[in-house]
């Protein structure tokens, strides 16, 4: 029997079959995370992997990645602590959040973390003061066209400002590099080429001003497997390697990549239970399907129906019809899909289990602590 990596593993299916645990929950197969890590390293062998911990900070995942030699991109002291607890070396931790409290920079420094991402002079000043001798990564703003979950406007500086901040970092005696993020779930393979052309020009200009950026951070953006297809990781690898060769013919001293979604999304399945199937009137062709899991149970990326998950039900293959899919809480924002033309089997009924696939990333930590008295999403690692 063949299995694509994007369908649940035998281990996950065994867990779903044998374990009678309360729904909703996410179950993650940590071996699949390892498989994905190996595939990404094969696709872009010249880059060091810094796992974006925010995608799923479970200890089981970080411990496995430590064993594989991964480094880590963190956003807070708690994520630093988690990585250190899992056995990561402080040298292998990059503080990638461009917005940091001074005391958090100081805390990171006391832990031995030496690399910080910034995008403006005011943040450079904070890092220079609290982390003397650290190296800074200056983030370039990127228009995230082609990404299902864009990240553009909140982060990054325009190219001339990146050059200026690199110059200031050099004056402060700090090592530096340039980073960007092409947007999460980026399905346009040319996104990296576009941005690397700008990065190459930035580095050229910075050198003319006495700075010497030594590393380039390619960010994340590599895909999970959702309803709309995305290219294979080998295609991303080919595109990224070609862009590096084209814009940096003399090479780059150090290349970083910060995958979050790609490493963990497909490794997880979220199991939920149907609470109610209703029609507003008998002749209504559209059914409302209410699950015991919604926007407040970790499915935050269904905001604006941006991430469209694949669903699995016990009646797949039978006659189906249109549905609106909603969560169980008393908030009208708790609707998952209303405009994305989801269909589910007509036989679907109260008590059936609906599996939401590729939910290993950006779910568990997005769950509310107890809205309406519902507990946070449970998580299991196998
Ligand atoms: C969220 C984030 C990532 C991970 O992005 P994915 O699209 O999940 O791979 C990488 N780098 C930074 C700075 C991030 O904020």
DSSP 19-50: ---PSSEEEE-HHHHHHHHHHHHHHSTTEEEE
Residue with the nearest Cα to atom 13 of ligand 1? 96
- Region 40-55 average pLDDT: 98
Within 13 Å and on the Cβ side, how many CA atoms surround 316?
Answer: 8
What's the confidence (pLDDT) of residue 190?
Answer: 94
Judge contact between 205 and 162, C-beta under 8 A: no
Dist CA 45 CA 178 (whole Å): 19
**Bigger pLDDT: 281 vs 120:** 120
- Region 163-192 average pLDDT: 96
**Any ligand 1 atom below 6 A from CB of 221:** yes
Q: How many CB atoms lie within 10 A of CB 201?
A: 13
CATH code of the domain made up of 31-263: 3.20.20.10
The first and second tokens of residue 350, run together, are 């109260």
The first and second tokens of residue 3, run together, are 């299995």
Give per-residue burial for 66-77: e unless 16+ CB within 10 Å, then b: beeebbbbbbbb
β-pair type (135-139, 176-179):
parallel
The answer to whether residue 330 is catalytic is yes
What's the confidence (pLDDT) of residue 324?
Answer: 97
Q: How many residues does the chain have?
A: 382
Tell me the CA–centroid distance for residue 320 and ligand 1, in Å: 36
- Region 315-320 average pLDDT: 96
Give the alpha-carbon dihedral of 236, 148, 192, 54, to 10 degrees: -90
Q: What is the pLDDT of residues 106-155, one digit of tens each?
A: 999 999 999 999 999 999 999 999 999 999 999 999 877 788 887 767 88
* Active-site residue identified among 83, 111, 293, 330: 330
What's the confidence (pLDDT) of residue 145?
Answer: 79
What's the confidence (pLDDT) of residue 179?
Answer: 97
Give the DSSP letter of residue 118: E
- Region 192-202 average pLDDT: 96
The minimum-distance atom of ligand 1 relative to the CA of 184 is: 7
Percentage of the chain modeled with pLDDT above 90 = 92
Tell me the CA–centroid distance for residue 184 and ligand 1, in Å: 7
Tell me the CA–centroid distance for residue 344 and ligand 1, in Å: 32
Tell me the CA–centroid distance for residue 44 and ligand 1, in Å: 17
Domain ranges of the chain: 31-263, 266-381
The minimum-distance atom of ligand 1 relative to the CA of 259 is: 9
**Any ligand 1 atom below 6 A from CB of 139:** no
CA nearest to 271, candidates 373, 380, 149, 362? 380
**Any ligand 1 atom below 6 A from CB of 236:** no
Please list the residues that pair with 50 across neighbouring strands: 71
β-pair type (71-74, 320-326):
unpaired
- Taking CA atoms, 108 is separated from 21, 54, 255, 269, in Å, by 38, 17, 22, 33
The minimum-distance atom of ligand 1 relative to the CA of 262 is: 9
The minimum-distance atom of ligand 1 relative to the CA of 183 is: 7
Residue of 48, 73, 359 with the most ligand 1 atoms within 8 Å of its CB, for mutation: 73
Question: Does the pLDDT of residue 350 top 60, yes or no?
Answer: yes
Give the DSSP letter of residue 138: E
For the chain, the average pLDDT equals 95
Q: Among 105-114, 152-161, 323-332, which stretch is predicted with the lowest mean pLDDT?
A: 152-161
What's the confidence (pLDDT) of residue 318?
Answer: 96
What's the confidence (pLDDT) of residue 79?
Answer: 98
**pLDDT confidence band for 1 (50 / 70 / 90):** very low
Tell me the CA–centroid distance for residue 312 and ligand 1, in Å: 27
Q: CB neighbours of 25 closer than 8 A, spacing ≥ 6?
A: 270, 271, 377, 378, 379, 380
**Any ligand 1 atom below 6 A from CB of 54:** yes
Q: What is the pLDDT of residues 14-29, one digit of tens each?
A: 999 999 999 999 999 9
Phi, psi dihedral angles at 44 (to 5 degrees): -130, 70
Which residue has 């309406």 as its token pair?
372
Q: What is the pLDDT of residues 227-270, one digit of tens each?
A: 999 999 999 999 999 999 999 999 999 999 999 999 999 999 99
**pLDDT confidence band for 4 (50 / 70 / 90):** very low
Q: Rounded to a whole number, what is the distance in angstroms from the first to the last CA of the chain? A: 22
Q: What is the DSSP string of 306-365?
A: -S---EE-TTTTS-EEEEEEE-SSS-TT-EEESSS--EEETT--TT-EEEEES-SSSSGG
**Any ligand 1 atom below 6 A from CB of 224:** no
Residue with the nearest Cα to atom 5 of ligand 1? 220
**Any ligand 1 atom below 6 A from CB of 259:** yes
The CATH homologous superfamily for domain 266-381 is Lyase, Ornithine Decarboxylase; Chain A, domain 1 (2.40.37.10)
Dist CA 137 CA 217 (whole Å): 8
**Any ligand 1 atom below 6 A from CB of 261:** yes
Tell me the CA–centroid distance for residue 245 and ligand 1, in Å: 23
- Report which secondary-structure segment, H or E, holds 217: strand 215-217
**pLDDT confidence band for 62 (50 / 70 / 90):** very high
The minimum-distance atom of ligand 1 relative to the CA of 222 is: 9
**pLDDT confidence band for 2 (50 / 70 / 90):** very low
Give per-residue burial for 331-365: e unless 16+ CB within 10 Å, then b: eeebbbbeeeebebbeebeeebebbbbbbbbbbbb
Tell me the CA–centroid distance for residue 327 and ligand 1, in Å: 27
The first and second tokens of residue 206, run together, are 């910075």
Residue of 48, 258, 262, 361 with the most ligand 1 atoms within 8 Å of its CB, for mutation: 258
What's the confidence (pLDDT) of residue 3?
Answer: 40
What's the confidence (pLDDT) of residue 6?
Answer: 65
Q: Report H helices in the chain.
A: 10-18, 30-43, 59-68, 77-85, 102-111, 121-130, 159-171, 191-208, 233-247, 261-264
- Region 341-347 average pLDDT: 97
Give the DSSP letter of residue 292: S
């Amino acid at each position: 029997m063949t299995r694509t990596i994007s369908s649940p593993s035998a281990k996950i299916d065994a867990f779903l079959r044998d374990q009678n645990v309360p729904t909703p929950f996410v179950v993650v197969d940590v071996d699949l995370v390892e498989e994905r890590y190996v595939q990404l390293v094969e696709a872009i062998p010249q880059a060091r992997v810094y796992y974006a911990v925010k995608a799923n900070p479970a200890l089981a995942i970080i411990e496995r990645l430590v064993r594989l030699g991964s480094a880590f991109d963190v956003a807070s002291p708690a994520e630093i602590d988690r990585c250190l607890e899992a056995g990561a070396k402080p040298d292998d931790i990059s503080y990638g959040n461009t917005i940091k409290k001074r005391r958090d920079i100081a805390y990171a420094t006391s832990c031995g973390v030496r690399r910080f991402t910034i995008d403006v002079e005011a943040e450079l000043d904070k890092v220079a003061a609290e982390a003397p001798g650290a190296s800074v990564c200056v983030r370039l703003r990127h228009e995230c066209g082609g990404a299902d979950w864009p990240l553009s406007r909140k982060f990054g500086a325009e190219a001339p400002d990146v050059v200026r901040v690199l110059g200031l970092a050099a004056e402060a005696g700090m090592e530096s590099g340039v980073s960007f993020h092409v947007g999460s779930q980026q399905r346009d393979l040319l996104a990296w080429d576009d941005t690397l052309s700008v990065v190459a020009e930035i580095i050229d200009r910075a050198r003319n001003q006495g700075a010497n950026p030594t590393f380039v951070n390619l960010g994340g953006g590599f895909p999970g497997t959702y309803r709309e297809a995305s290219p294979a990781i080998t295609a991303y690898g080919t595109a990224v390697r070609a862009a590096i060769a084209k814009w940096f013919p003399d090479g780059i001293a150090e290349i970083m990549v910060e995958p979050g979604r790609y490493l963990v999304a497909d490794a997880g399945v979220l199991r939920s239970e149907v609470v109610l199937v209703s029609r507003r009137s008998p002749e209504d062709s559209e059914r409302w399907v209410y699950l015991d899991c919604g926007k407040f149970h970790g499915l935050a990326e269904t905001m604006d129906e941006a991430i469209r998950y694949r669903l699995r039900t016990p009646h797949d293959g039978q006659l189906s019809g249109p549905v609106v899919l909603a969560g169980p809480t008393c908030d009208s924002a708790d609707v998952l899909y209303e405009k994305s033309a989801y269909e589910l089997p007509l036989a679907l009924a109260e008590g059936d289990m609906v599996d939401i696939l590729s939910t290993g990333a950006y779910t568990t930590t997005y769950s509310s602590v107890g809205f309406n008295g519902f507990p946070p999403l449970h998580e299991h690692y196998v």
